């Protein structure tokens, strides 16, 4: 009985993973449990220059290909422009992109679209210096960004710092309790940031 249950769970896990690879809208890695998602919205999106497209070929090979400056996607993953297996993708919706890829390369599927962002973080609100931070020195967490902005002001609401994250038409707004992190608690609230993230520190009206 236990063996059958374990086999069933393994099968469900495998199916879930496979479905995630074929949606064309694979989700970004989820933030840790305990981080509150305030809002999730989806707007129409069209493919733009330098967006990264993850492709899965019929043989299972997975590659990440950037849309070229000419607006084309090389289905073979070649860096050089002008190859035979290119299609024009700029301006297409993710669904239209998936259809165009499937038509041009039998068995190839789009598994993820990543919107291009400049490698920087924005910090706004109740910090001493509202700034853009270039992510040139590796990973950065929320409190690293706050420190780069010279810290919180005296009226900052450090319990309700907002994190805005956007990708390919999907917008998520999270609430971070950084006061708990500063007290040595809830380390998961000090999340890793991604290019394009915006942190906003609200006022404390109490």
Half-sphere exposure of 94 (CA within 13 A, CB side): 24
What are the tens digits of pLDDT across the range 28-85?
Answer: 457 888 899 999 999 999 999 999 999 999 999 999 999 999 999 999 876 555 566 8
Distance from C-alpha of 14 to C-alpha of 78, rounded to nearest angstrom: 30
Output the average pLDDT for the chain: 85
β-pair partners for 39: 173
Residue located via tokens 């962002």: 117
**Residue 87: exposed, middle, or buried by beta-carbon count in 10 A (0-12, 13-18, 19+)?**
middle
* Domains, in order of start, for the chain: 45-114 (no CATH), 120-201 (3.10.560.10)
Tell me, what's the pLDDT at 77? 74
* pLDDT attached to residue 137: 77
Give yes or no for a contact between 172 and 39, defined as CB atoms under 8 angstroms apart: yes
CA angle 88–91–94, rounded 5-degree value: 90
- Average pLDDT of 99-128? 94
Q: Is 184 within 8 Å of 136 (Cβ atoms)? A: no
The side-by-side arrangement of strands in the sheet containing 131-134 is 36-42, 170-176, 161-167, 198-201, 120-125, 131-134
The pLDDT value recorded for residue 83 is: 63
pLDDT in tens, 165-195: 998 889 999 999 999 999 999 999 999 999 9
Instruction: List the Cα angle 80/63/89 in 5-degree steps.
Output: 60
Q: What is the pTM assigned to this prediction? A: 0.73
């Amino acid at each position: 009985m236990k063996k059958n249950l374990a086999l069933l769970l393994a099968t469900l896990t495998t199916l879930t993973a496979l479905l995630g690879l074929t949606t064309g809208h694979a989700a970004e890695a989820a933030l840790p449990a305990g981080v509150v998602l305030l809002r999730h919205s989806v707007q129409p999106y069209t493919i733009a220059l330098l967006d990264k497209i993850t492709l899965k070929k019929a043989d299972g090979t997975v590659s990440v290909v950037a849309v070229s400056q000419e607006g084309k996607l090389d289905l073979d993953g070649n860096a050089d422009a002008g190859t035979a297996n290119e299609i024009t993708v700029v301006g297409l919706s993710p669904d239209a992109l998936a259809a165009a890829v499937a038509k041009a390369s039998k068995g190839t599927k789009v598994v993820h679209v990543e919107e291009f962002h400049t490698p920087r973080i924005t910090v706004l609100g109740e910090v001493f210096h509202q700034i853009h931070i270039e992510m040139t020195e590796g990973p950065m967490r929320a409190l690293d960004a706050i420190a780069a902005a010279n810290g919180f002001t005296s009226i900052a609401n450090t319990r309700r710092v907002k994190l805005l994250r956007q990708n390919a038409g999907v917008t998520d707004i999270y609430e971070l309790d950084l006061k708990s992190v500063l007290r040595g608690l809830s380390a998961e609230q000090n999340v890793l940031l991604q290019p394009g993230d915006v942190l906003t520190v609200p006022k404390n009206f109490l």
